[in-house]
Structure 1
Amino acid sequence: MAKPFFLGLVLIVLLQQCLCSPAFREHETAGARVKRQFSLNFGATHQQDEGTDVTGEAIARLWRSQSGNTEVQGSASYNQHFGGFAGDAKFKRPDYRLKLKVVFS
């Protein structure tokens, strides 16, 4: 029960960082906007007699240096397999992943 709550909390923080951060930096004029980008990916695939895989992922840039040479990216993902051969009502436990990536350029 703690894992879904933790994943949900991380997704909320990622979305809040992307959507609710100030749209303007203090040293810039009011006409210049700061680009905020994030990616949400959802999917499901089904194969006869093998079951269904359900996936979801959120990816966002969490921080970028003023020079633009360094940035921190974060992602949270969920993956679960349902079903299987006829009569197999079992499903695999969900897979939750959190990733932080530091990029130097």
Structure 2
Amino acid sequence: MSEVYIRSQNKEKLLMLGSNGILRYYKEIGSNDNHMICFETKSEMYDLGKYESRARCLAILDEIQSKCGMYLKLEGGAALIRGGMDVQPAVFNIPKVYEMPKK
């Protein structure tokens, strides 16, 4: 997976996704309106944002998944300067930041 940084809804946390934890939907028991996205490790759980519904949380997880798969692609082609080497095609995996939406 490429490096994706998640900025919490309240702007107080910046977490890097990786093999040390997972993002998941969480609904507080006994509450009808506390739908959250959390980053969970073996020992801790971080609240990243609260939203109005489960559907909204799942849509945000879809957006993050899409962000994880983004790459910078260079098609390549002929050199711009006469006598220069042709530009080779390449794919770059650049770090990305996803900021949790307010709503």
Q: Normalized against structure 1, the TM-score is what?
A: 0.33
Q: Normalized against structure 2, the TM-score is what?
A: 0.33
